[in-house]
Amino acid sequence: SALSIPYGWAIILITILLKIIFWPLTGISTRSAKRMADMAPQLKALQEKYKDDPQKLPAKQWEFYRENKINPMSGCLPMLVQLPVFFGLFSMLRTAIELRGAHFLWTADLSKADTLFMIPGLSFIPFISTPEGLPFNLLPILYIATALWQTHITPMSPGMDPAQQKMMRWMPLMFLVILYNFSGGLALYMTVNNLLTILQTRITKSAAAAPPAATPVTASVLTPASKKKK
């Protein structure tokens, strides 16, 4: 029909619509992660102070969270709400027969990997190579690039040591082999979703960069009781 939308653009529009619907939840998660990152020095000092008392440390951490109005779970719950939708779209786009033969930009068939050309002599790479060589699939590469960008602008949990943080920031590279031969439609959705998440993260960070009135961080749990009472 004359009013029909090409499948590639339909995937992009659906992704944008879902991002708008879940925008408030994702914003909560981003603000929570930034708030936790801002508290990292105080939390580290608290952990250092009670490192020899592992039974008392959790109670002091929760006291610190309560006094500073921090909910450590507020960053995870919005993501859990979105997971069913993500997995539903993931399953649908991976197997949708309607995408067969659908063109989008350089992708000749959205139901298959968007191979632009073959790189000869690289047929030895497991899982992603073919006897003819290594297919150059652009969309999965773009997806991994946006995933790396996203991990580098997302605040890490203050409880992670530097080695764990480094591993988390580069973890998307581990999924390249798994995702490399995904269908073009699925790779398109995941890439656009990442770009929209990056945009929202930057907008949320910019909005929180200059608060009208900064509330001083409560650090009473770091002050010995003898100094509190005079």
pTM: 0.66
Residues 201/150, Cβ–Cβ less than 8 Å: yes
* pLDDT, tens only, 161-205: 677 777 777 878 888 888 888 888 888 988 998 898 888 888 877
What is the torsion angle, in degrees rounded to the nearest 10, for the CA atoms of residue 192, residue 195, residue 201 and residue 207?
-100
* pLDDT, tens only, 6-46: 888 888 998 899 888 888 777 777 676 667 767 777 777 77
Distance in angstroms (rounded) separating the CA atoms of residues 61 and 50: 10
Neighbours of 161 (CB within 10 A): 8
Report, as an integer, the average pLDDT of 70-76.
Answer: 62
Average pLDDT, the chain: 75
Residues 180/137, Cβ–Cβ less than 8 Å: yes
- Token match 């619509």: residue? 17
Distance in angstroms (rounded) separating the CA atoms of residues 57 and 107: 54
Distance in angstroms (rounded) separating the CA atoms of residues 106 and 138: 9
Distance in angstroms (rounded) separating the CA atoms of residues 118 and 104: 20
